[in-house]
Structure 1
Amino acid sequence: MMTITPEAITQIQISAQQSQAQGLPLRIAAERKADGHFHYQMGFDDAQQVGDVLLELDEVSVIIDADSAPLLQGAWLDFVDIEGQMEFVFMNPNDPHYRPPQA
Structure 2
Amino acid sequence: MFTLTAAAAARIRQAAVEGGMAELALRVAARRENDGSITYGMGFDEPGEGEQPSLQSDGVTVLIAGSSKPLLQDTQLDFVELEPGEFNFIFVPQATAARGKSGCGSCSSGGCATC
- Unaligned stretches of 5+ residues in structure 2: 102-115
Tell me, in whole angstroms, the C-alpha distance in 2 between the residues paired with 1:34 and 1:51.
29
Change (3 A) 1:6 1:47: same
| 8 A Cα contact 1:26 1:62, kept in partner | yes
- 1:50 Cα shift? 5.7
| 8 A Cα contact 1:28 1:40, kept in partner | yes
- In structure 1, the partner of 2:68 is 68
| 8 A Cα contact 2:47 2:53, kept in partner | no
Change (3 A) 1:34 1:50: farther
- 1:17 Cα shift? 0.8
- Secondary structure of the residue aligned to 2:31 is strand
Matched, 1:45 2:45: yes
Tell me, in whole angstroms, the C-alpha distance in 2 between the residues paired with 1:37 and 1:50.
31
- In structure 2, the partner of 1:11 is 11
Aligned residues: 99
- In structure 2, the partner of 1:91 is 92
Tell me, in whole angstroms, the C-alpha distance in 2 between the residues paired with 1:52 and 1:32.
24
The normalised TM-score by structure 1 is: 0.85
Change (3 A) 1:39 1:25: same
Identity %: 36
